C-alpha cells in the first residue's frame, strides 16, 4: 500500500490530473468573468443612453399623454445593448 502511494509514476499522474483540472477551472472562471463584465458594461451603457431618452420621453408624455407608447419604445431601444450582451454569454 505504502509502495503504491510513494510510486513516482502514480504521483506524477495524479499531479498532472490536478493541474489540468485547475487549468480548466481557471479558464471557466475567466469565461464567466468575461461574460459578467460584458453584460455589466452593456447594462451600464444602455442605462446611460436611456437617461436622456427617458427624461425627454417623460417630458413629452407630460405634455401629451398620447406619446406614451412611442416614448416607451424609444426609451427601451438602448436595451438592445443588453440583449446582445446576453448573446455573448452563450457564445463564450
Of positions 42, 57, 81, 82, contacts another protein by CB under 8 A: 57
State the nearest-atom distance from the C-beta of 35 to another protein, in Å. Answer: 25
- CA–CA separation, 47 vs 51, rounded Å? 6
Of positions 35, 53, 88, 89, contacts another protein by CB under 8 A: 53
- Give the single-character DSSP code of 65: G
- CA–CA separation, 39 vs 80, rounded Å? 11
Q: Which is nearer to another protein, 58 or 77 (CB)?
A: 58
Does residue number 66 form part of the binding site for another protein (CB under 8 A)?
Answer: no
Amino acid at each position: 500500500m505504502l509502495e503504491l502511494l510513494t510510486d513516482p509514476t502514480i504521483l506524477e499522474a495524479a499531479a498532472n490530473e490536478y493541474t489540468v483540472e485547475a487549468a480548466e477551472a481557471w479558464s471557466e472562471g475567466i469565461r464567466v468573468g468575461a461574460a459578467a463584465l460584458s453584460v455589466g458594461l452593456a447594462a451600464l451603457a444602455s442605462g446611460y443612453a436611456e437617461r436622456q431618452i427617458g427624461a425627454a420621453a417623460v417630458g413629452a408624455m407630460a405634455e401629451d399623454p398620447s406619446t406614451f407608447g412611442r416614448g416607451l419604445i424609444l426609451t427601451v431601444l438602448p436595451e438592445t445593448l443588453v440583449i446582445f450582451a446576453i448573446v455573448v454569454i452563450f457564445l463564450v
